[in-house]
Structure 1
Amino acid sequence: MTVTTDATDRAAQILSRPVTLNGLTVPNRIVMAPMTRQFSPGGIPGEDVASYYARRAAAGVGLIVTEGTYVGHESAGQSDSIPRFHGEEQLAGWSKVADAVHAAGGTIVPQLWHIGMVRGAGEPPFADAPPVGPSGIGTEGAEVTGKAMTQQDLDDVIEAFAKAAADAERIGFDGVELHGAHGYLIDQFLWAGTNRRTDAYGGDPVARTKFAAEIVAAVRSAVSPSFPVLFRYSQWKQQAYDARLAETPEELEAILAPLAAAGVDAFHASTRRYWQPEFDGSDLNLAGWTKKITGKPAISVGSVGLNGEFLKAFQGEGSTVRGIDDLLDRLESGEFDLVAIGRALLQDPEWAAKVLAGRFSELAAYDASSLKTLH
């Protein structure tokens, strides 16, 4: 069975609308979510990486958020195959990526990343660099396995984010996204489970937001006023899916308001299932609450296009709250502004083109083997 013309037209109409993020106009509502791909030896993105992103831009993705890329702090990463956003060769490679995406008609922002206590001692690319975090503990428990950051450490990391953002603007990117999600460094400060500090950077939710807000403010000062600054955050962590920064909308506002005031232009609210309500008493998901609280544009993400029920709905085979109608209803109502697609775009570079053109019958269920190649 195929999707009706009305459904096809509705999907194309809603998803094709442009949206403005500060000084950037994104041509449609489809975002490529950041996904780590270890295909950059020496931290340098090559021609294959440029082609990988350009292929998705050419197929209709409105905004590409790159895989996480390490800022210029030696403790920022744990792999020599994950790209870095510092160094002459690395930035030259990224410049070519931005050029390729623009030539294909897309827009692109790098995701700037510091993994903090997720790093293991002795890991590359800088083996002597210690794991660092707010209290020297990881998300797995209370054991101290790294270094609690000093004020100098905090200042160095803030400077690294600001420099990376300035470099991104200089070499032609359309904005930046700060990775404040999933249990990495910025999130380690936001979450009470890993932030046990007793100074100004620890304590209540507003204090735990201080480090993130200082990064945002430094980035905002390092780039042009119209240059978009996105901030990705999550309740869940890689090692703790049930973790939560906020149990109520009021607690979430205490975290997000300082970030918005510091200069975030749009929030990327990461959930594992976009259709799940975030708080009792409302159907709004995390992105919906984020937009309601801050008034800023919000990107929703979480298993869009992956499960079989979603694909059946795309193809007109029954109805489901996880199907295309539900997603379009939420976009049309303004619950959130953009939708990010992750693994479905890894498998199929043409995913956006197929959806925008109503070629739903050509969509296929996600196959994990797509992670093994860069195509």
Structure 2
Amino acid sequence: MSALFSPLAIGPLQLCNRIVIAPMCQYACTDGLANDWHVQHWGALSQSGAALLLTEATAVVPEGRISWADLGLYDDACEAAFAQALASVRRWSPMPVGVQLAHAGRKASTHRPWEHGGGAIAPEAAHGWRTVAPSALAYADSDPVPAALDTAGIARVVQAFADAARRAARLGLDAIELHAAHGYLLHQFLSPLSNHREDAYGGALESRMRLLLEVFDAVRAAVPATMAVGVRISATDWVDGGWDLAQSIALARALDVRGCHYIHVSSGGLHPAQRIVAGSGYQLPFAEAIRREVDRPVVGVGLITTPEQAEAALERGQADAIALARALLYDLRWPWHAAAALGATVATSPRFLRAVPHGLPPLLVPATGTAD
């Protein structure tokens, strides 16, 4: 049997295979509201044959959005719009859906990537606002300097994550992923390059991990046991003196003890001086090292583009599941093609069953539990 198409339990969540759709920002919102773009985008992904759809980074407060066009889950209007989009998707697909809860910290208040290079927007400019961070250190020299969070501000961040988690639970979502990677706020607290605090949230590793662990505990307490809760981390900053694999292993162990259902292992994004040595599956060694140290599943991601590569990573024990982002944007039927290559099957709407080319064995089976 194909490893990629074998089932996997992520805490209370049962996955039919090991293909996870990684969060991908769409920059399509006004005031944080999901809309028709999300209906068609999530709907297409939900028919892909993957096992779990993680929606894009979703801000827990308005100032936590990466850009003014980002998705949010911080008020009743955001919750209602998310519910409407999700209902349209779930009518036609039984695929589990999770949300990645995020706060961009000092990397917030930016243009959309295709406008002005995605650069920072000044607080006084249109679509701009004052950003916050663990310390008053900008991401890039040309960026506005963020405000350092005080202890009351940190408490508000923890509360915002918990409140957004409650909204996610009311929406009937299956999973929550906490975004502690790619240089956003929780990662900023982890890294000594961005965290120069001298209080209980800075300095020693245990203190730099404090905010993420407090957020995790608050989110777990806010949602029912039927929801999976995981964390995405950057295993290294790719900068000397920054966050690295050894610290990531210590964090993974702390999360494992707390009952974190999975760890999604990416890298980079914290500092413009990063020097990433990219290549096919370049982040899998980080996932493999962390996987050896924890009991719960580890998700590998990053330039994994072929079914054979994904299968080999699982067989070698580098990860328990494989997350795809750009590969699925490019080819929405990637899991179908992987099933054909690996002799497996995927569930989809019966309307698609005749899509299998003549000469191939049956690889599509009808999904159950939808309007079909």
C-alpha separation in 2, matches of 1:247 and 1:178: 19
What is the correspondence of 1:188-199 to structure 2 with a 5 Å cutoff?
A: 188-199=188-199
* Worse-superposed segment, 57-66 or 86-95: 86-95
- Seen in structure 2, the aligned counterparts of structure 1 residues 300 and 92 have a Cα distance that, compared at 3 Å, is same
Q: Distance in 2 between matches of 1:232 and 1:123?
A: 32
**Maintained 8 Å contact 1:19/1:28:** yes
Letter in 2 for 1:24: L
Q: Structure 1 residues 221 and 144 mapped into 2: Cα distance closer, same or farther (>3 Å)? A: same
- Name 2:123's counterpart in structure 1: 122
The equivalent of 1:208 in structure 2 is 208
1:337: how far off? 1.1
Task: Tell me the distance in 2 between the aligned counterparts of 1:124 and 1:175.
Answer: 36
Alignment-mate amino acid for residue 244 of structure 2: A
Please tell me the residue identity of whatever aligns with 1:340. Answer: A
Counterpart residue number, 2:55: 66
The corresponding residue for 1:275 is 281
1:97, 1:74 → 2: CA distance? Answer: 20
| 1:15 alignment counterpart | 4
| Counterpart contact for 1:274–1:300, Cα < 8 Å | no
Q: Deviations over 1:298-331 (max 9, x none)?
A: 11000111xxxx5xxxxxxxxxxxxx44431321
Query: Which SS does the other structure have where 2:97 is aligned?
Result: strand
Which residues in structure 2 correspond to 1:98-109 (within 5 Å)?
A: 98-102=86-90, 103-109=92-98
Shift of residue 16, structure 1, vs aligned partner: 1.6
Residue 100 and residue 287 in structure 1: after superposition, are their counterparts in 2 closer, same or farther (change >3 A)?
Answer: farther
C-alpha distance in structure 2 between counterparts of 1:96 and 1:125, whole Å: 29
Question: What is the total number of aligned residue pairs between the two structures?
Answer: 322
Which residue is equivalent to 2:243? 245
In structure 2, the residue matched to 1:345 is 328
1-side partners of 2:241 and 2:311: how far apart? 29
CA contact (8 A) 2:235 2:245 kept: no
Equivalent residues in 2 for 1:256-271, closer than 5 Å: 256-271=252-267
Matching residue's letter, 1:122: P
Unpaired stretches in structure 1, ≥5 consecutive residues: 1-9, 279-283, 311-323, 363-375
Aligned pair in 2 of structure 1 residues 113, 18: CA closer, same or farther (>3 Å)? same
33, 50, 65: which one aligns with 1:44: 33
5 Å-filtered alignment, 1:210-225, equals 210-225=210-225
Q: CA deviation at 1:261?
A: 2.9
Structure 1 residues 114, 125: closer, same or farther in 2, change over 3 A?
A: farther
Q: Is the 8 A contact 2:189 2:195 kept in 1?
A: yes
Measured on the aligned residues, the alpha-carbon RMSD in Å equals 2.8
Aligned partner of 2:257: which letter? Answer: A
| One-letter amino acid matched to 2:301 | V
Looking at secondary structure, tell me which structure has more helix per residue: 1
The whole-number CA distance in structure 1 between the counterparts of 2:204 and 2:260 is 21
Amino acid at match of 1:160: A
TM-score normalised per structure 2: 0.79
